[in-house]
Amino acid sequence: EVQLQASGGGLVQAGGSLRLSCAASGFTLDDYAIGWFRQAPGKEREGVCLSSSDGSTYYKDSVKGRFTISRDNAKNTVYLQMNSLKPEDTAVYYCAAAMHPLFLSYGGSWSGAYNMDYWGKGTQVTVSS
């Protein structure tokens, strides 16, 4: 059974850090792009960042310099290190995998992806001011 399990969310004060994990089972991450997405209350889901199978990484402008996506293919796990968290980062965070992701762009910058094959259940991140 194919599964993506996101974990590591929690409550943190503004300026703090969290590390999310996305563990895959039932398939091998090596050939997949893995993206992190988030959805805040009353808002649409948006792309946060993505790690391509070739090692390229893409970030939404608002998280550049604060968030880092990394993967450990040996552990079949992708991580999202989130530093300098802001209240506007509060959302449910999801990880998703795609063999052939299609990218969205806005103003010349990466802004998300679609055509994802697998989605994990989300993990709540709450940043207090």
Supply the DSSP string of the chain, one letter for each residue.
Answer: --EEEEE--EEEETT--EEEEEEEESS-GGGSEEEEEEE-TTS--EEEEEE-TTS-EEE-GGGTTTEEEEEETTTTEEEEEE-S--GGG-EEEEEEEESS-EEEEETTEEEEEE--SEEPBPEEEEEE-
Provide the residue-wise pLDDT of the chain in tens; the chain has 129 residues: 899 999 999 999 999 999 999 999 999 988 899 999 999 999 999 999 999 999 899 999 999 999 999 999 899 999 999 999 999 999 999 999 999 999 989 888 998 998 999 999 999 999 999
Q: What is the model's pLDDT at position 85? A: 98
| pLDDT value, residue 90 | 98
